[in-house]
Chains A and B, each alone.
Chain A
Amino acid sequence: MSRFLRHRLFWPAVILAALLLLNLVFTDHFFSVEIKDGHLYGSLVDIVRFGAPLILVALGMTLVIATGGIDLSVGSVVAISGALACLRISDLGDQNSTGGVLGAVVLALALSLVLGAWNGFLVAGIGIQPIIATLILMVAGRGLAQLVTDGQIITVNSSPYKLIGGGYWLTLPFGIIIVAAVLALTAFLTRRLALGLLIESVGGNAEASRLAGISARGVLMMVYAFCGLCAGVAGLMISSNVSSADGNNAGLWIELDAILAVVIGGTPLAGGRFSLSGTVLGALIIQTLTTTIYSIGVPPETTLLFKALVVTIVCLLQSPAFREKVFHRRGRPTSARPAAEEKATVTA
């Protein structure tokens, strides 16, 4: 039991469960999932579907943070990717041509990859502190996105493109399938292959890793490029969902939510050990929070207050120091206790 309680994902899971239960009070049939017209419907499905872009960005962010870095530019990459894809599609003679849409998608993703690699180059090649290196693209990228859309909102009317963010495939929302695929790919690269070990090693001690023969630069380049790619996919999803690209607002502040998701999921900002499942859990908490805010009717002006509150609670519960100070204070009059506690910590 104590082992279970001390699992690092225990408290995030409790919070997620609590939020979901809260919804059940306000929304009847919140947990019901049904198949209508061959499509999966239900509030839980919606949470995953709407949360898909955030999960994607957060997955890429997890790897970057595991190397001890951070990527502030993902929001801008989201905007650029959506803008470029929509621009290409709107230039197509037939917006419904699968080939044309595919070309646009590939182009947008390739650009995202390049932008991610650019961040990697600044961090690994030139040695700029990650927060500042990615700040450059965060600022300039927003401008690039607007340049692509010429400051307008590009609207497209393309059913193949719509599929990415709003469509269904095999009864499942297509976005969920993409997330599952990217999650599986990330897990495969990091845990089946050895990328995870190298990332954790570089994040844990970069110089020791270099001397062990790891090409830290290569790992960093790869990780930032992957993060850019994830943001690019998320950008396609967001713009496809609304069939338009808004260079100014698409993906605005998503980097903060993504970082939050990663940290709630138990990956320390200092780098080292990371948890993909924790990140997914963290992203789901943030998305559920948004859903909850709507379902229990929090006025839109106070949504941020509510968010601040929940984030603070999650982080406090995650903090061993907080649990120690708050939960253990009551039953600790004797001096024999600390030794017993120490023992419990080690066996856990």
Chain B
Amino acid sequence: MAVPAPILRMNGIGKQFPGVKALDGVDFRLLPGEVHALMGENGAGKSTLIKVLTGVYDIDAGEIELEGRRVAFSSPLAAQQAGISTVYQEVNLCTNLSVAENIFIGREPRRLGRIQWTTMRRRAAEILARLDLYIDVSAPLASYSLAIQQMVAIARAVDVDAKVLILDEPTSSLDAGEVAQLFRVMRRLKDQGIAILFVSHFLDQIYEISDRMTVLRNGKLVGEYLTRELGQVDLIGKMIGRELADLESLEGRPLARQSAPLVEAADLGRAGSVRPFTLTIHEGEVVGLAGLLGSGRTEVARLLFGADHAGSGSVKIGGEPVSLRTPRAAVRRKLAFCSENRRAEGLIPDLTVRENLVLALQAARGWTRPIPRRRQDELADKYIAALNIRPADPDQLIRNLSGGNQQKVLLARWLIMEPRLLILDEPTRGIDVGAKAEIQRLVAELSDGGMAVLFISAELEEVLRLSHKVGVLRDRRLVAELDNDEGLTTDTLTETIASGARS
């Protein structure tokens, strides 16, 4: 197959941060009409490369050519004007404005300075229709799911005559159907000759959509490969520099021992959130929750933790009826909850790693009984070492850590509490393969040690690998509870999720 001339070429890119060589002589090229995956663990230099390309950072060495001309962008705006549009994981739109405005703001159709609202809405609807999206464009963006917001961001990016479209982890908060829709859109754009740079932690998605991939490790180029010629295991080997043994070792979990029920929820429900459900979690048991985004997975977790008030039903812990009206009450009953939304519901960005670590413990003790500084340091050192948190500096502000390390700190916050039930909502989302394996191994260890875990994940394989029992949610209803035996595979799970819709 003849390779067309690259639309974008980066040669010998180097970027130095204090103490770190973020990029070291990286070459990268992007062909028109291809989906090119940029692969690597967190800290491999993916986001730095993207930021260098889009003018967020300037480069220390190397050169960038767009359509054969040497370029250096001073800002994301300049890059965008040159035809390089970026859609980030966190949607960078104004959710208070309408969908149509988000597509057109800054270049609204006007007559004599007056914005032509009707024209704008019509054209917005047309653009979205081309992406197979039929929604009310006059409604505020905030009233739509993250997936749709993402599509709107793409619609905006593409409509400004993009030659290169960078999608930085666009799928991390989408469910399977939405991902499929996104991929349809990507294929259509690809056919129009747009070069797409795609970053994702989901290997299946990479293999489904990408034509070619570039692998980075520790700021250096490992190589460029055709996707169909590089197997998954080889890819991971190239990304982390070692074999996949870590992940494999978890296969073949023993089935749940029959132990005493720890948490028994009976007809627990909340109007508008999740239909009443009954769920029993035994000591030392890992219960997985599977279902599409918005199926009520998170809502089940929040009800069990008292983050939302339950409208109906009751909860027993250790056989004793309890009232979980607030997270505080749940913590007192030795429940713990790691939210899926790290930034909004987990981190206190201005505080240090140590302070974030001891927060739940301090809250439980009350402000009149401070944790002695020496004890805080012990705890911090212990968990930084145990969970391999990097940088290993307890006085670093947590907002300076990478996503995976932030997640480990939040996990440690709850492990310190020695909970009886640990609720993990998407603990491995948006973090790299290495950290993911560490967290999975930890969950297995904790459950072997007698802790019950409620494990929520969009990745069915992960759920299957860890859980003794899987609860399936569909349309805000718990539709099935399946034992994880030989017969349960991702296919049967997918089927259950899908068939739930028909019932």
Across-interface contacts of A192 in B (CB, < 8 A): 370
The answer to whether the Cβ of B257 comes within 8 Å of any Cβ in the partner chain is no
Q: Which of B300-355 contact A (CB under 8 A)?
A: 305, 307, 326-328, 330-331, 337, 339, 344-351, 355
Q: Which of A153-209 contact B (CB under 8 A)?
A: 189, 192-195, 197-198, 200-201, 204-205, 207-209
Q: How far is the CB of A109 from chain B (nearest CB, A)?
A: 21
CB distance B18 to A213 under 8 Å?
no
Known interface pairs A192-B370, A194-B367. Does A212 touch B349 (Cβ–Cβ under 8 Å)? no
The answer to whether the Cβ of B374 comes within 8 Å of any Cβ in the partner chain is no
Known interface pairs A201-B351, A204-B349. Does A212 touch B371 (Cβ–Cβ under 8 Å)? no
Across-interface contacts of A339 in B (CB, < 8 A): 16, 60
CA of A347 to CA of B362, assembled, Å: 30
CB distance A205 to B348 under 8 Å?
yes
The answer to whether the Cβ of A214 comes within 8 Å of any Cβ in the partner chain is yes
Across-interface contacts of B307 in A (CB, < 8 A): 210-211
The answer to whether the Cβ of A342 comes within 8 Å of any Cβ in the partner chain is yes
Which listed residue (A198, A207, A213, A347) contacts B367, Cβ 8 A?
Answer: A198
CA of A207 to CA of B345, assembled, Å: 6
Q: How far is the CB of B130 from chain A (nearest CB, A)?
A: 38
Chain B CB within 10 A, most for which of A189, A211, A219: A211
Across-interface contacts of A338 in B (CB, < 8 A): 58
CB distance B339 to A211 under 8 Å?
yes
Across-interface contacts of B369 in A (CB, < 8 A): 193-194
The answer to whether the Cβ of B365 comes within 8 Å of any Cβ in the partner chain is yes
The answer to whether the Cβ of B359 comes within 8 Å of any Cβ in the partner chain is yes
The answer to whether the Cβ of B363 comes within 8 Å of any Cβ in the partner chain is yes
CA of A210 to CA of B17, assembled, Å: 36
CA of A250 to CA of B435, assembled, Å: 60
CB distance B362 to A197 under 8 Å?
yes
CA of A194 to CA of B373, assembled, Å: 11
Q: Mark A303-326, 1 if CB is under 8 A from B, else 0.
A: 000000000000000000000000
The answer to whether the Cβ of A343 comes within 8 Å of any Cβ in the partner chain is yes
Across-interface contacts of B363 in A (CB, < 8 A): 198, 209, 212-215
CB distance A208 to B16 under 8 Å?
no
CA of A198 to CA of B346, assembled, Å: 14
Across-interface contacts of A198 in B (CB, < 8 A): 362-363, 367
CB distance B348 to A209 under 8 Å?
yes
Across-interface contacts of B250 in A (CB, < 8 A): none
Across-interface contacts of A126 in B (CB, < 8 A): none
Across-interface contacts of A213 in B (CB, < 8 A): 327-328, 330-331, 360, 363-364
CB distance B351 to A342 under 8 Å?
no
Q: How far is the CB of B439 from chain A (nearest CB, A)?
A: 19
CA of A342 to CA of B413, assembled, Å: 32
The answer to whether the Cβ of B368 comes within 8 Å of any Cβ in the partner chain is yes
Q: How far is the CB of B375 from chain A (nearest CB, A)?
A: 12
Across-interface contacts of A343 in B (CB, < 8 A): 18
CA of A209 to CA of B348, assembled, Å: 8
Q: How far is the CB of B77 from chain A (nearest CB, A)?
A: 19
Nearest residue, chain A, Cβ from B19: A346
Q: Mark B41-72, 1 if CB is under 8 A from A, else 0.
A: 00000000000000000101000000000000
The answer to whether the Cβ of A49 comes within 8 Å of any Cβ in the partner chain is no
Which listed residue (B16, B328, B344, B355) contacts A215, Cβ 8 A?
Answer: B328
CA of A338 to CA of B57, assembled, Å: 11
CA of A347 to CA of B346, assembled, Å: 28
On chain B, the number of residues with a Cβ less than 8 Å from chain A's Cβ atoms is 38
Q: Which of B241-295 contact A (CB under 8 A)?
A: none
CA of A70 to CA of B407, assembled, Å: 32
CA of A198 to CA of B16, assembled, Å: 37
Chain B CB within 10 A, most for which of A210, A213, A214, A346: A213
The answer to whether the Cβ of A272 comes within 8 Å of any Cβ in the partner chain is yes
The answer to whether the Cβ of A273 comes within 8 Å of any Cβ in the partner chain is yes
Q: Give chain A's interface secondary structure class.
A: helix
CB distance A208 to B350 under 8 Å?
no
Q: Chain A: interface residue count, which band? A: 20 to 34
CB distance A208 to B327 under 8 Å?
no
Nearest residue, chain B, Cβ from A215: B328
Q: How far is the CB of B379 from chain A (nearest CB, A)?
A: 14
CA of A204 to CA of B330, assembled, Å: 22
Q: Mark A266-307, 1 if CB is under 8 A from B, else 0.
A: 000000110000000000000000000000000000000000
Nearest residue, chain B, Cβ from A195: B367
Known interface pairs A193-B367, A213-B327. Does A207 touch B344 (Cβ–Cβ under 8 Å)? yes
Q: How far is the CB of A209 from chain B (nearest CB, A)?
A: 7
CB distance B362 to A194 under 8 Å?
yes
Q: How far is the CB of A200 from chain B (nearest CB, A)?
A: 6
CA of A135 to CA of B326, assembled, Å: 30
Which listed residue (B18, B305, B347, B368) contacts A205, Cβ 8 A?
Answer: B347
Known interface pairs A194-B370, A346-B18. Does A208 touch B346 (Cβ–Cβ under 8 Å)? yes
CA of A194 to CA of B358, assembled, Å: 11
Q: How far is the CB of B54 from chain A (nearest CB, A)?
A: 18
Across-interface contacts of A211 in B (CB, < 8 A): 305, 307, 327, 337, 339, 345-346
Across-interface contacts of B348 in A (CB, < 8 A): 200-201, 204-205, 208-209
Which listed residue (B351, B359, B371) contacts A214, Cβ 8 A?
Answer: B359
CA of A212 to CA of B368, assembled, Å: 17
CA of A338 to CA of B346, assembled, Å: 34
CA of A195 to CA of B60, assembled, Å: 46
Which listed residue (B347, B365, B368) contacts A208, Cβ 8 A?
Answer: B347
Show 16 residue pairs from A and B whose CB-CB distance is below 8 angstroms, ordered by the A residue. Answer: A193-B367, A197-B351, A201-B359, A204-B351, A207-B344, A208-B339, A208-B345, A210-B326, A210-B327, A211-B345, A213-B327, A213-B360, A219-B367, A339-B60, A343-B18, A346-B19
Residue positions of A touching B, CB distance < 8 A: 189, 192-195, 197-198, 200-201, 204-205, 207-215, 219, 272-273, 338-339, 342-343, 346-347
Given contact pairs A198-B367, A211-B305, A211-B307, enumerate 20 new A-B contacts (beta carbons under 8 Å). A192-B370, A193-B367, A194-B369, A197-B358, A201-B355, A204-B349, A204-B351, A205-B344, A205-B348, A205-B349, A207-B344, A208-B344, A208-B345, A211-B345, A212-B363, A213-B364, A214-B363, A272-B350, A339-B16, A343-B18
Which 10 A-B pairs rank lowest in CB-CB distance, beginning with the nearest? A213-B331, A204-B348, A272-B350, A194-B370, A213-B363, A214-B363, A195-B367, A343-B18, A204-B350, A194-B367
Residue positions of B touching A, CB distance < 8 A: 16-19, 58, 60, 305, 307, 326-328, 330-331, 337, 339, 344-351, 355, 358-360, 362-371, 413
